[in-house]
Every structure is written in C-alpha cells, then in structure tokens.
Amino acid sequence: MPNTKYSERQRASLKLWIELMLYSNKLEQIIDDKLRHNYGQNISRFDVLSQLEREPEKGISVGDLAGRLIASKGNITGLLHRMGEDNLIKKVARIDDRRSTLVHITKKGQNLFNEMAENNAKWVEQTLKTIDINHMHDFTSFLSKARSLLD
C-alpha cells in the first residue's frame, strides 16, 4: 500500500479491516474443518440449525432465516433442500399464508445441533486460548459498539 496515497487514518483503517477479515476467515475455516471432520457437517449447516434451535416450535420463514444467517451467504434454497433430505429440518406451509414456508428444526437436527454446539464452544475457546478474558470482553464490547455505528 503506497504511503503517499492514503492518510494515516486511511492506512490504519485499511490495515484493521484486512486483519479483521483475515482473522474472521481463519477462525471460520478452523471451525468449519472441525465440523466437517467430526460431524460431516459444515458451518453453514451449523448456522442454520443454530437459528432454528432458537424458535423450535414457531419456526422461521425462509426469508427471515436467510437474513439471520451469519456464515451462510450462498444458495439458501439448495442448503435447506439438502438439510431436509438429511432430516435435519422440515419445511411446512404457513397456516395463515400457504404461499409462505416455515422452516423447523427436527428432533434429529436438534440432537445434532446440541452435540455440535457443545463442541463448538470448546473449539472456539481452545482457538482463542491465548487471548486474556479481559481483552476478550473489551474487544467484544468495542466491536459491538463499532458495528452498531454501521447500522
């Protein structure tokens, strides 16, 4: 990055952005690899189950689910179809609007999610073990505030 083109704040901003992206991508890859190796699942499936687990009775519309996902940015329709074939989720037409579909987690999906979530917590903790807990709290607070300013 040429020093003459950018102000000090721009250089610092770009460096921070790049480091955040690299760190996030690396952490996501570590967890995705562990989910694949231990469960034959990926982080996108884990993300879907995580969202559905929060509303097991009510379900979530496909559109709302797509908006809530953190890791899954690709083909939500295909992802849900494959997860349905694996009996991890079920899609049900809404009673009040048969054109709209609600997605529910199945018992099999719930059991799988519970096991994956427990191990995910351990994996993330292990991955971040070198970071002091007070720094974690401070950094989390900082990022949360910074993110809220983007909205």
pLDDT in tens, 85-123: 999 999 998 888 777 899 999 999 999 999 999 999 999
Domain coordinates in residue numbering, the chain: 8-150
Spatial distance between the Cα atoms of 14 and 19, rounded to a whole number of angstroms: 9
pLDDT category, 61, cuts 50, 70, 90? very high
* Predicted TM-score of the model (pTM): 0.87
- Tell me the CATH number of domain 8-150, given options 1.10.10.10, 3.40.800.10, 3.40.50.2300, 1.20.120.1200: 1.10.10.10
